[in-house]
Structure 1
Amino acid sequence: MSELFAGLHADEYDRTYGNRRLVARILRYLRERRGAMLGSAALVVGAALLTAAVPVVISRVIDQVGGGTGLGLRLSLFVVVAAVLAWVMNWVRQAVTARLVGDVVYRLQCDAADAALAKDVAFYDGNSAGQVMSRVTGDTEGFSSVMTLTLNLLSQVFLVLLLGGVVFWIDVDLGLIILATLPILLGVALAFRRVARTAAAGTRRVMARVNANVHESMLGISVAKSFGREKAVYRDFDEVNRLSYAVYIRQGLIYAVILPVLTMLAGLATAVVLYQGGRFAVLGRLSPGEWYFAIQAFGMLWQPVTQAASFWSLFQQGLAASERVFALIDSEHAIVQHGDEPVTRLDGEIEARGLVFRYGTGATVFDGLDLRIAARETVAIVGHTGGGKSTLAKLIARAYEFQGGELLIDGRDIRSLDLRGYRRRVGVVPQHPFLFAGTLAENIAYGRPGAGHADVERAIERIGHRVWSRSMPLSLHDRLTSGGQGVSVGQRQLIALARMFLQEPDIVLLDEPTASVDPLTERGIQDALFRLFEGRTVLVIAHRLSTIRRADRVLVLREGVIAEDGGFDELLRRGGAFAALYATYYAHQRSA
């Protein structure tokens, strides 16, 4: 069993919050709804007073037995009216609470989604999108149970204080007996808290794993089907689903213990109160009605404790859920800006001085890289896989934080720039672009909010209508699915290029934008691209000879080091690293 739960580890950004800190955090979300809170509190007080009045009045009725029916009838009518009014107040309070909880959960979901969107690319390299999604949706819903139970328990606590005060007023000794039993019940419930919290945290984590597995399986379903791996996908799901089953069974067994234990203890305590109250009644210290009230009051006093314990599963799940949401919100950003200098236009000069970078705790990619790219220069980056080509582009795009050295844009430290403004001036076309659910026109206009249909048409015109119409059988109003299912990789690259034409960036980063198109289409796109390159700084991770030939410079990266740097013809004449790459990878493209 221990091996089964060994894989149920916390995410690296998880943190532990004490219950007091969690409740204080929750209360901060409630402060903006003070009016609703005060209204709910007033209803709690009113309902508690009426609820407490009922056993008091019934005890008076008992004492009036044999003394005439007039007073008894009036008191009985009062009990009915009080019970009805208490029910109405509780109903209104529940309605107000539901609205209050809904508002707070909405705000929490907004905060969680905002935190998830603000995370850097590096964050999602180490954390599954499905698990993050589970925190934004499932865990925020679980958080609502904490609030509902907390507000309900507050009303119960007020009722306990009120009834306890009446019992002490009736008889101090009986009040002390009842008071002595409550710590036992509370002690058992609190001792159960740590075990319950651990079990609840386990259920939230395993649910995140199930969500992540399903999310990944659905995203990769076409690959699974193409290799006939449906059974393997199901086995992976069955494994994590069995883990989920085991975790929920363990939690159920844990929570199945506490309520019977508390009920047994409450029964014993009730017997003590019943016996001692009966002795006091025989001795004349209590009337029969007061004896009845003491028993009823004790039942109302220990009921919130056992009720809290019976709902402890939900309460602890809610605390565990809120802890996971707050951990996401509070997790530190990998990208840290030291300033927010405005960025309106860029000349595009890029300089790296002693740049040091590694992925997490992995091997170092760059260990003191020095590089300068002049403004409005087109540079082709070539080299073997793992040489650092894509990493360099991602660092310039500010997708990752480097660990040492400097990266300067127009002579300014990239960390001193307003990040959002800087990214608007940098255009990125990955080798495998992502498409969003929406129309083709909406996908093209994604990088420039507010762009109209005419703007989209102009972007397509800059690519070339002939190239576009030959390669893109869709109209601008046709809808695409999330991820671009049914659209080829080459068509996705065309859409990504149109996005960039519409964006009009100052620095362009391309991961071979024509790698997945046919040679005829490639030639048309190349012409359009180099028209776009005019007046801009361009870095192209190049796999096509045609792209390398038209670049101003060629950089050969080998294991994070610039092996060669120069013009196409110059590097070929040298007969060095680039000439070897040319002979191996590019010579066969000469006829293209």
Structure 2
Amino acid sequence: MGFIMDGLDAEAYDRTYSDITLIKRIIGYFKPKLGLVIFVAVLVVLRSLLDTAFPILVSQGLDALTALKDAWNLALGIVGLILLSSVLSWVFNMLRQWLTAKAIGDVVLKLRTDAFNAVMDRDMSFFDEFASGKIVSRVTSDTDSFATVVTLSVNLLSQVLLFILIVCILFTRNWQLALISMAIIPVILAVALGFRYIARKATQRTQRSLARVNSTVQEVISGITVAKNFRQEQNMYDEFKKINGQSYHVNVRAGFLYNGVFPVLVAIANLGTVLVVYFGGKGVLNNSISAGDWFLFTQGIQALWAPVTSIASFWSQFQLGLSASERIFALLDAEPRVHQTDDVPVHNLRGEIEFKHLHFSYDDRQTVLPDFSLKIKAGETVAFVGHTGAGKSSIARLVARFYEYQGGELLIDGQDIRTFNLRDYRRRLGIVPQVPFLFSGTVADNIRYARPDATENEVIEVANKIGQGDWLEALPNGLNTMVGEAGKALSMGQRQLVALARVLLQDPAIIILDEATASVDPLTEAQIQEGLDVILQNRTAILIAHRLSTIKHADRIIVLNGGRIVEEGNHEALMHRGGHYAELYNTYFRHQSPDYKPGEGFVPVLQTETANNQ
């Protein structure tokens, strides 16, 4: 049992909604389709009336035939009416199903769009915490399952109407026999309602197991290069087999649960049929009920049990749809962690950045920036250096407004960053990550991603400004070269150059470069550096670099340790001081110097500085 349920817990942002709340929200999605829904409801009523006409017509025919010796004309008339009612019922049902599919398709389209927009609106911390495959499952699989609850709701309406009509007819014919027919219904409803809670739990586990399978498959495909490099294909297969096996067991258990309730309900319903046949037969023998009415009851009771058992047995599928909608609405209702206090438009930025006693933590347990204060002048290039975990990337993420800080202030051009319209603000912000992501398409498409309305000449112009355009000669088809999935058809350096061109086309006021030259060869590094020289002109820049060449070009170097500034200045001044920066230089940068010789170039570190770091 433990293995089957491992990893199937709810996500931190999941919520529990009552069935009434879910149904109200689902109905809200159908309000724009109100006219279509009303027409479908009319078709459902007409079909239900026609379906009840069959046993009534046969009953009337039997009574008439027993009373008349020569009733062929009457029999033919009844057969014609039965045929007509059957044809009309088929036509109404076909129209109902077609229009229902149209309405449901439109609603699912809207719901999936809303779910995708919700994903786009989530903060970066959301994607750090939750697996992308599970998020994808909510947008795709769960929206498909949502259609189930709507389809069943329409079927439920049809079944309820049919049930009401049959009950009314039976009571008008013989109320004693009708009461006998109704006696078994409370038992059926009790079994169905008792099954409700179990069904919800089972459907939740089924959907979570599917989300886990999707997440695993996505992770395997994304990391297949690493797996093959370390020859871990078998381990990845074994891990997937384990998770897929878990999904299999969860689905089998749910299948037994769903499929087991229907035979139980049918068995109970058959007891009701036996009672009706027995007491109705006695009534025919003692002439207290006509043969036609007895037939009406035997046929009607079968038509009566069908909607009752269907309503009860469909409850499991109904719960599947409700569970899917619950997961989707939980995604829509997830609370953002980045809160804007205003929506001030951002037309232009000078690029001045100021941190005032800023406090930041990712998880409220470990503080990354305890009391951070710094002012970056407009147009200044500042490089942040420090050991892993010093807070370099956190500063860049806060400037990009990807995360919420817990205390202090972050001002852009003297204005609280929390007051900006984020879409406007990020248009003035250019980011080049350490591992740039390219979308499927051509190199030109990816450069133009920053400004979809950019002309071909503008794209060519910015591409030629990066490394003087020499890098384009290495591309098979120049700017029309296909980059492949995530840019895998290009080298890391080429991807980085495309990312630089993309930012240059954007023309931002603030640039963030996160170790942009950390994984490239010297020639590409030189091309990137030439591109950086162009991009950084008259712009505020935050550089997170592990390359000496990048750091040396900075106007100011900020040395971080434990989220605090321990030194700042230019390269020469900090080297002369022989403090924490000199230690970092000896550890990371000394071998990158063009005139480096093994055993030479070591910079003495001040003992007082070393003691403080310890």
1:557 equivalent to 2:578? Answer no
Alpha-carbon separation, structure 2, partners of 1:467 and 1:529: 15
Structure 2 residue identity aligned to 1:82: S
Tell me the distance in 2 between the aligned counterparts of 1:6 and 1:584: 44
Q: How many Å separate the matches in 2 of 1:231 and 1:209? A: 19
* 2:171 and 2:178 in contact (8 A); partners too: yes
Which deviates more from structure 2 when the two are superposed, residues 129-138 or residues 560-569?
560-569
CA offsets, 1:18-62, max 9 Å, x none?
Answer: 222222111111111112111111111111111111111111011
State the Cα deviation string for residues 57-113 of structure 1 (Å, max 9, x = none): 111011112313132321221111111111111111111111111111111111111
TM-score normalised by the chain length of structure 2: 0.93
Aligned in 2, Cα 1:413/1:379: closer, same or farther, shift over 3 Å?
same
Distance 1:516 1:11 in 2: 35
Instruction: Output the CA distance in 2 between the equivalents of 1:518 and 1:298.
Output: 82
For the aligned residue pairs, the C-alpha RMSD in angstroms reads 1.6
Corresponding position of 2:77 = 74
Report the equivalent of 2:346: 343
2:493 to 466, 490, 495: 490
Assess if the C-alpha contact under 8 Å between 2:196 and 2:316 holds in 1: no
Q: What is the SS of the residue equivalent to 1:407?
A: strand
Maintained 8 Å contact 1:437/1:480: yes
Q: Equivalents in 2 of 1:575, 1:374: separation in Å?
A: 26
Q: Structure 1 residue 392 and structure 2 residue 364: aligned?
A: no
| Number of the residue aligned with 1:30 | 30
- 1:96 matched to which residue of 2? 99
Name the SS for the 2:168 alignment partner: helix
Task: Identify which of 126, 131, 134 aligns with 1:128.
Answer: 131
Conservation of the 8 A alpha-carbon contact between 2:466 and 2:534? no
Preserved CA contact (<8 Å) 2:346 2:420: yes
Q: In terms of mean alpha carbon deviation, does 277-286 or 112-121 score higher?
A: 277-286
Amino acid at match of 2:182: L
1:303-314 alignment, distance < 5 Å: 303-314=306-317
State yes or no: 1:589 paired with 2:592: yes
**Aligned equivalents of 1:3 and 1:188: distance in 2?**
30
Do 1:439 and 1:479's aligned partners in 2 also have CA atoms closer than 8 Å? yes
Does the aligned pair in 1 maintain the 2:273–2:302 contact within 8 Å? Answer: yes
Per the TM alignment, residue 474 of structure 1 is displaced from its structure 2 partner at its CA by 4.6
Equivalent residues of 1:112, 1:136 under 8 A apart: yes
Q: In 2, Cα distance between the equivalents of 1:14 and 1:421?
A: 31
Task: Give the counterpart letter for 1:138 in structure 2.
Answer: S
Distance 1:294 1:468, change over 3 A: same
Displacement of 1:10 in angstroms is 1.2
Aligned residue in 1 for 2:607: none
- Equivalent of residue 439 in structure 1, options 442, 450, 453: 442
Tell me which residue corresponds to 2:356.
353
For residue 3 of structure 1, report the CA deviation from its aligned partner. Answer: 3.7
Change (3 A) 1:366 1:474: farther
Unpaired stretches in structure 1, ≥5 consecutive residues:
none
Deviations 1:494-517 (A, max 9, x none): 111011110000000001222233
Give the partner amino acid of 2:563.
Answer: G
Bigger mean CA deviation after superposition, 271-280 or 429-438: 271-280
Q: CA deviation at 1:549?
A: 1.7
CA offset at residue 182 of structure 1? 1.6
Decide which of 395, 420, 423 is 2:423's aligned counterpart: 420
CA distance in 1, matches of 2:488, 2:584: 35
Stretch moving more, 8-17 or 432-441: 8-17
Q: Match of 2:486, SS?
A: coil
For residue 447 of structure 1, give the secondary structure of its aligned residue in structure 2: coil
Aligned residues: 592
Q: Distance in 2 between matches of 1:268 and 1:542?
A: 79
Q: Please, which moves more after superposition, 574-583 or 52-61?
A: 574-583
The C-alpha deviation readout for 1:214-248, integer Å capped at 9, x for no partner, is 11101111111111111011011001011011101
Q: Residue 353 of structure 1: SS of its match in structure 2?
A: strand
Distance in structure 2 (CA, Å) of the matches to 1:301 and 1:386: 69
Matched, 1:382 2:385: yes
Q: Answer yes or no: is 1:481 the counterpart of 2:475.
A: no
Residues 340, 418 of structure 1: 8 Å contact kept: yes
Q: Whole-Å Cα distance in 2 between the matches of residues 465 and 571 of structure 1?
A: 33
Aligned to 2:536: 533
Question: Given the two structures, how large is their TM-score scaled by the length of structure 1?
Answer: 0.97
Residue number in structure 2 paired with 1:63: 63
Stretch moving more, 306-315 or 442-451 = 306-315
Give the partner amino acid of 1:465: Q
* Residue type at the aligned position of 1:451: A
Residue 211 (1) aligns with residue 214 (2): yes
Tell me by how many angstroms 1:471 deviates: 5.4
> What letter is aligned with 1:160?
F
Q: Is the 8 A contact 1:394 1:400 kept in 2?
A: yes
Comparing 276-285 and 133-142, the one that deviates more: 276-285
Tell which deviates more after alignment, 404-413 or 579-588.
579-588
Quick one: which amino acid aligns to residue 394 of structure 1? R
